[in-house]
Amino acid sequence: MMKKIILCCMAGMSTSMLVKKMQQAADEANIDCDINAVSADQIKSNLNGTDVVLLGPQIKYKLPEIKKICDEMNVPCDVINMLDYGAMNGKKVLDFAITISK
């Protein structure tokens, strides 16, 4: 079953590189994923069918606000580990997303 994962940052730009690394890790592990990067402002309009939302560490201050939106749609939401984000460790972030997804 396909997992739909959204990475969220201020403009959706810094997470796009991580999306590619995560997609690579998913392909190597034969995990069917749809991973996208969106800006914090676009989160509400992109939640339909989403399994998990991960925030870039630079916007963790928005977690309460975004978590409230995600809770309304029953979508788990958390912040990406800063070290994994900084290292662009796609496999670790993918594993984290799968662990907390519904």
Catalytic sites, residue numbers: 9
Q: Which residues contact 79 (CB under 8 A, 6 or more apart)?
A: 54, 55, 56, 57, 60, 63
Question: Distance between CA atoms of 72 and 68, rounded to whole angstroms?
Answer: 6
**In the numeric block, which tokens belong to residue 70?**
């995600």
